[in-house]
Amino acid sequence: MHSFKMLPATAIKSLLLFALVFLLSLTSLVDSRNDTDETGLSSTHSSIRIGVVLDLDSPMGAMLDLCLSMAHSDFYSVHSNYQTRLSLHRKNAKGQFGVGSAGGTSSFSLNFELLPAVESFRISVCELIAVLELLKNEEVHGVLGRESLTESAFVAELGARAHVPVISFTAESQGFSHTKSSYFVRMSPDDLYQIKGLAAICQQFGWHNIVVIYEDSRHGNVFMSKLNKEFQEVDIRVGYSSAVSTSADDVYITKGLNKLMTMQTRVFLVHMNTLLGCRLFHLARKAGMMTEGYAWLITDSFSNFLNSEDSSSLEGVLGIRHCVPKSKKLKDFQERWTKNALLMKPEITVMDLNIYGLWAYDTVWALAMAIEKLLPIGQKLLTELSHTKFTGLSGKFELVDGELKPLAFEIFNVIGTGDRTVGYWTPSRGISKILGSISAKELKVIMWPGDTLVPPRGWAIPSNGKLKVGVPKKEGFTEFVKVQVDPLTNQPQVSGFSIDVFIASLQLLPFKLDYEFVPFMNASGHRNGSYADLLHRILDQSYDFVVGDITILADRAAYVDFTLPYTESGVVMVVKNKMSIDMWIFLKPLRWDLWLAIIVACIFIEVVPRLMERERNSTDAGSSMPRGQQVGLFVFPIAALAFPERNMVSNNWSRFVLVVWLFVAFILMQSYTAKLSSIFTVDQLEFSFSEEYYVGHQHGSFTRDFLINELHLNESKLRSYTRFEDYHDAMSRGSRKGGIDAIVGETPYMKLFLNRYGSEYRMVGRTYKTQGFGFAFPIGSPLVSYFSRAILDITQGPNMTTIEQKNLGPGYPSDSVDRDDPNLTAYNFGGLFIIICSAAIFSLFCSETSVGQRFTTTASHYGQRCCCSFPIFRGKESSVHSVSDTDASGESSSEEANEIQESKTNTSDRPEEVEVLESSSEDVSAGEVGSS
C-alpha cells in the first residue's frame, strides 16, 4: 500500500472530503446516550449552547472535563444575576462510532484500515465527526476543545463555514492561527515566546551551540522550524537535531544517545511528550549523560506534565513553563479540585492538575462574560471575547490577535523528585531572579547534573579518543609546516612556524587538549590534494580540525570556521631588481623643485649678509682677504664659517644668519646622503605589469585561482613551484629562457623569500587583501573562540618574535616591506626653508632699519644689566663696558677707543682739551651707534 504522503494535494483533499461526507451520512446510526450537557437553566434565563469535544476516557480529558464543570459552577454561583447561561454540550471524541471506547454502545464500528491516508496523517476522524455533530444537530454557538495540531485546521475551517468560533486552549504550536481564520481562537500563548525564553537562557550561560532532541511529529516539526529561525537571529546554532518517534524502542534511543556522546556539544534541548521524555532521560542516565559537564533543557510540553510522572531521572535538568501567579483563589480551587477528583469513578484515571486545566477553567469564565454582553452570533462573540479581560486562575486573561497574551515564564530546576523555581523570563524584561524585577538580571543558584553548582560550559572533548588534527604535507616552503616520518616508529614528526603557534596556543587554553597530528598525505608519502581538499576533510569528520598555513578566505568560511589570523594578510608581487647605469644618478635623491629651492636659498643667503656688511666691505682696509675673494665665498655661504680668517664677517647678525644656514645645510646633506645610499641598494625600476609576463605561484595554493579569476591572467602564463629555490632559479632565467618574470604569493611567503635572497628582489604594485593564516574548525565549534583568544595573546606578546626568529630566520621582518621610494621634494623640507628665510629677514630688519637698531640697543642694554646683576660678572665691569662700546651693527670700536686713550695721555696737561676730546669720543661713539 502506498503512503499517503506521496499523493497529490488535490487527491488528499478529495479523499478527506469523501471520508467526511461518508461518515456524516452515518450519523443517524449514532447512539448519543453518552452525550451530556450542563444547563441548570430556569425559565428566566436564556441558554447558549457551547460544544465541548474531549477524550473523556483519557487522564488528560478527565482532568479537563472536571475543570470545565467546576468553572461553570463557580462562575454562575458568583454571577447569579446573569441573564444568560452557558450550556456545555460534551462529545466524547473516542466514544464516537465505537472507536477507542471502553464498553461503548455504538452500533457502528469504523475500520481504519479502509482509510490509510487519514491514518498516515493521524487525523482523528472521530473528533471531526463530533464537531460536525455539534454544528449540525446541536446548533452550538461555539466549539471548545483540545485540538491536536493536524485537526485544528480542519476544525477551524468547519467553524468558519458555519460562522461558529472554534476555541482551543492547548494548541501552542499551531501552524494554523487566528490570522488564517478569524474564527479560530487560541487560549494559550504561541510557542514562539517560550523559544525566546530558551534563547535567553542559552545566552545567559554563553551556550552558542546546542543539540535539539524532539518528538517526531508535526507538532515537533513546527516547533523546530520556529526554534531554528529564532536561535539563528541571536547567534545560537543548532549543531545537530534528532527526531525521536513515539514508537521508538529503547535500543534505538540508546544508539542515538551514544552518537550524541561523540560530539563536542554538551547542551541538549528536549521537546517531546512526558512519557517519551521520561524514557529518554532514563536511558540518558544509564549512558552516563546525566553527569557533570552536561546541560539539559526541557520545554513546557514536557514540564507541564512533570508532576504526573516519576522525575527521579531528571535531577539537574533546567526547564521552562508558563508562570502561574500564586493567589488565594488558586489555592482554594486546587483543594476543591483534589477532592472532586477523588470522588470521580474509580475506573477513570485523572491526571494531576496543570496549566491546561487552568486555561480551560478561565476559558469558560471568558465565554460566560462575553455572551452576557451580546447575542453570541459568530463574529460578534469573537469580537466581545477579544475585549474580555480579567484575572483568572492562570493569571491575567487577555487575547491579542486571537491568542492568549503571554505574561511570564517560570524557569525551574529539577531537584530529586521535585523542582525549584530559579528565575523568570518575560518578553519585556528578559531574565530575572524575581518576577517583575529590573535589576537582578540573572538566575538563582542551579543544581546541575552531577550534583555540581558550576554551570556547564556547553561543550567537551568527545570521549572517543584523541582529537585528529590535520596538517598539510608540503614539498617546499616547509618553514611554516614540515612533516617528516620517523623511519623507526613510522610516526609523523611535525614542526614549523604554524605548528609552534598552535603549541603555544595550547598552553594558553583553560583546559587540556588531547590530540594527535594526522598529515594529509597519500600512501606514498606525498601530498594528498590541495588545501581546499584538506579543509573538506573536516566536513566528512576525517579531521576534527586543521592546523597549518591555511589562508582565511570567504569561500572557505562557508563550510569551516576560522580562528583569528596569526600572520600578516595580503597577496603581493615580487620582481627582480634591475639596476641601470646612470651618470646623473647623483641628482636622483632630490627632486627638481628641491634643487631649485636650495639654489634660491643660497642666493638669498648671499644677498642678506652682503647688505649687512656693505659699509665695512667698502672701508675695511684691515681685511687680509681680497674683496673679490670675499664676494666669491658668499656664493656658497657655508664657506664663510669654514674660512680660518675671523674677520671675514664682523656683523653679529650676519653670523647669526650663517649659523642658521649651517643648521639647514647639515640636515640637507644628511638627507641627501641617506637617500643616495638607498638608491644604490634598492631597485628604482618602474615596474609595469604586462599580460605577456609569465607569473609563478605556489603549487596547490589558492593563488592560482586568484590570478585567473581576479587578475584575469591567461592560464598558460602561470607556472607553479614548490620551493624558494625553484622561484629563484625561474626568476634568474626569465621568461625567455623558460622562467618567469614575477612571483605572486602571500605576504608571509614573499617576505621570507626576500629575507633569503636579499636585495635581488623587491615587492611592487598593490597589496591584494586577504585575511592571513588561521586554523580551521567545523562550523560552530566552541574551540574557535578559545584558540582565537590564545592567538591574540601570542601575536601581541613577546613570544611571537621568538617563534618567528626560530622558524623564519633572524632577518625576517616583523612588519610590512615598504615598496614606495619617492624622491625628496621641496615640500619635505619646507619647514627648514621657512626657518632660514625668517631668520635672514629678521636679522636684516634688526641690522638695517632704525626701529630694529633701537630694538637691538635696548636688548643689549638690558642684557648688560642682567649680566652685571650676577656676582660672577661684577669683577669684570671693565669688560662689560668695553663690550658696551661695540656698535649696534656688531663692529668693534676698540681701535677708536685706543686712539682716544692716547689722546687723553698726550693732553693730560691741558684739561680743556681733554674735556673736548672726551666729548668728541662720546659723540663719535653715539654717532656710530646711531648709524649702525
**Which of 213, 55, 214, 217 lies closest to 121 in space, CA to CA?**
217
Asked if residue 287 and residue 168 are part of one domain, the reply reads no
Asked if residue 563 and residue 511 are part of one domain, the reply reads yes
Q: Is residue 731 part of a domain?
A: yes
> What are the E-state strand segments in 103-246?
143-145, 166-168, 184-186, 209-215, 237-244
- Report residue 255's pLDDT band, with 50, 70 and 90 as the boundaries: very high
Asked if residue 764 and residue 777 are part of one domain, the reply reads no
Using CA atoms, how far apart are residues 738 and 751, in angstroms rounded to an integer? 25
Using CA atoms, how far apart are residues 609 and 840, in angstroms rounded to an integer? 9
Using CA atoms, how far apart are residues 666 and 925, in angstroms rounded to an integer? 39
Asked if residue 800 and residue 699 are part of one domain, the reply reads no
Q: Which domain-ending residue is among 746, 779, 814?
A: 814
C-alpha distances (whole Å) from 863 to each of 652, 835, 866 are 15, 25, 5
What pLDDT score was predicted for residue 808?
81
- Give the tens place of pLDDT for each residue, 740-783: 989 998 888 888 888 888 777 888 877 888 888 999 998 878 88
**Which of 235, 241, 246, 255 lies closest to 212 in space, CA to CA?**
241
- Report residue 894's pLDDT band, with 50, 70 and 90 as the boundaries: very low
Q: Is the pLDDT of residue 538 over 80?
A: yes
**For the chain, what percent of residues have pLDDT higher than 90?**
23
**For the chain, what percent of residues have pLDDT higher than 70?**
72
Please, what is the average pLDDT of the chain?
Answer: 76
What pLDDT score was predicted for residue 723?
87
Q: Is residue 27 part of a domain?
A: no
- Report residue 244's pLDDT band, with 50, 70 and 90 as the boundaries: very high
- Report residue 178's pLDDT band, with 50, 70 and 90 as the boundaries: low
Asked if residue 749 and residue 696 are part of one domain, the reply reads yes
- Give the tens place of pLDDT for each residue, 26-62: 443 333 334 455 655 555 678 888 999 888 888 888 8
Q: Is the pLDDT of residue 182 over 80?
A: no
Three-class DSSP category at 38: strand
Average pLDDT over residues 414-425: 90
Q: Is residue 879 part of a domain?
A: no
Average pLDDT over residues 720-739: 88
Asked if residue 166 and residue 75 are part of one domain, the reply reads yes
Q: Which of 95-109, 141-155, 395-409, 632-646 has the lowest mean pLDDT?
A: 95-109
What pLDDT score was predicted for residue 899?
45
**Which of 144, 133, 158, 102 lies closest to 29 in space, CA to CA?**
133
What pLDDT score was predicted for residue 512?
84
Q: What is the DSSP letter of 694?
A: -
What pLDDT score was predicted for residue 385?
81
Half-sphere exposure (CA, 13 Å, Cβ side) for 295?
25
- Give the tens place of pLDDT for each residue, 307-335: 777 788 899 999 999 999 889 999 999 99
Q: Give the cell for residue 753.
A: 623569500
Range of the domain at 474: 465-567+771-814
What pLDDT score was predicted for residue 104?
37
Q: Is residue 852 part of a domain?
A: no
Q: Give the cell for residue 118.
A: 487519514
Q: What is the DSSP string of 613-628?
A: THHHHHH----SS-HH
- Report residue 250's pLDDT band, with 50, 70 and 90 as the boundaries: very high
Please count the other Cβ atoms lying within 10 Å of the Cβ belonging to residue 309: 15
- Report residue 210's pLDDT band, with 50, 70 and 90 as the boundaries: very high
Q: Is the pLDDT of residue 214 over 90?
A: yes
What is the value of pTM for the model shown?
Answer: 0.63
Q: Is the pLDDT of residue 235 over 60?
A: yes
CB of 169 closer than 8 Å to CB of 400? no
Q: Is residue 932 part of a domain?
A: no
Helices 355-373 and 59-78, axial angle in degrees (round to 10): 40
What pLDDT score was predicted for residue 28?
36
CB of 287 closer than 8 Å to CB of 260? no
**Which of 870, 871, 894 lies closest to 881 in space, CA to CA?**
894
Using CA atoms, how far apart are residues 319 and 344, in angstroms rounded to an integer? 32
Asked if residue 55 and residue 179 are part of one domain, the reply reads yes
- Report residue 231's pLDDT band, with 50, 70 and 90 as the boundaries: very high
Asked if residue 385 and residue 315 are part of one domain, the reply reads no
Asked if residue 204 and residue 314 are part of one domain, the reply reads yes
CATH number at 779 reads 3.40.190.10
Average pLDDT over residues 492-506: 92
Q: Is residue 278 part of a domain?
A: yes
Q: Is the pLDDT of residue 642 over 50?
A: no
Using CA atoms, how far apart are residues 932 and 654, in angstroms rounded to an integer? 13
- Number of domains comprising the chain: 5
Using CA atoms, how far apart are residues 518 and 468, in angstroms rounded to an integer? 6
What pLDDT score was predicted for residue 459?
82
Q: Is the pLDDT of residue 784 over 80?
A: yes
Three-class DSSP category at 187: coil
Average pLDDT over residues 541-568: 90
Secondary structure, 3-state, 115-136: CHHHHHCCCCHHHHHHHHHHHH
- Report residue 5's pLDDT band, with 50, 70 and 90 as the boundaries: very low
Using CA atoms, how far apart are residues 699 and 4, in angstroms rounded to an integer? 55
Q: What is the DSSP string of 328-367?
A: HHHHHHHHHHHHHHHHS-TTS--PPP-HHHHHHHHHHHHH
Q: Is the pLDDT of residue 876 over 90?
A: no
Using CA atoms, how far apart are residues 500 and 755, in angstroms rounded to an integer? 20
What pLDDT score was predicted for residue 825?
67
Using CA atoms, how far apart are residues 95 and 814, in angstroms rounded to an integer? 83
- Residue 918: enclosing H or E segment and its boundaries? helix 911-931
Q: Which of 121-135, 445-459, 689-703 has the lowest mean pLDDT?
A: 121-135
Q: Is the pLDDT of residue 81 over 70?
A: yes
CA angle at 502 for the pair 501 and 506, rounded to the nearest 5°: 115
**Which of 70, 130, 68, 72 lies closest to 100 in space, CA to CA?**
130
**Which of 827, 824, 831, 828 lies closest to 663 in space, CA to CA?**
831
CATH number at 319 reads 3.40.50.2300
Backbone φ and ψ of 672, nearest 5°: -60, -45
Which residues are within 8 A (CB) of 899 and not within 5 positions of it... i.e. 6 or more apart?
Answer: none
- Give the tens place of pLDDT for each residue, 598-625: 888 888 877 777 777 766 555 554 444 4
Q: Which domain-ending residue is among 390, 416, 432?
A: 432
Q: Is the pLDDT of residue 878 over 50?
A: no
- Give the tens place of pLDDT for each residue, 428-457: 889 999 887 877 788 999 999 999 999 998
What pLDDT score was predicted for residue 896?
43
Backbone φ and ψ of 192, nearest 5°: -60, -30
Q: Which domain-ending residue is among 814, 843, 869?
A: 814
Top-confidence range, 145-154, 577-586, 784-793:
784-793
The alpha carbons of the chain give a radius of gyration, in whole angstroms, of 49
Using CA atoms, how far apart are residues 844 and 846, in angstroms rounded to an integer? 6
Helices (H), 562-651: 592-612, 614-619, 627-633, 638-642
Q: Is residue 598 part of a domain?
A: yes
Asked if residue 777 and residue 746 are part of one domain, the reply reads no
What pLDDT score was predicted for residue 194?
92
Q: Is residue 923 part of a domain?
A: no
What pLDDT score was predicted for residue 100?
37
Asked if residue 574 and residue 588 are part of one domain, the reply reads no
Average pLDDT over residues 288-295: 92
Asked if residue 607 and residue 513 are part of one domain, the reply reads no
Q: Is 235 left (phi over 0), alpha (psi -120 to 50) or beta?
A: left
Top-confidence range, 193-202, 574-583, 915-924:
193-202
Q: What is the DSSP letter of 816?
A: P
- Residue 425: enclosing H or E segment and its boundaries? strand 418-426
Residue type, 637: P
Average pLDDT over residues 861-885: 52
Residue 528 buriedness (CB in 10 A; 0-12 / 13-18 / 19+): middle
Q: Which of 77-86, 154-163, 362-371, 561-570 has the lowest mean pLDDT?
A: 154-163
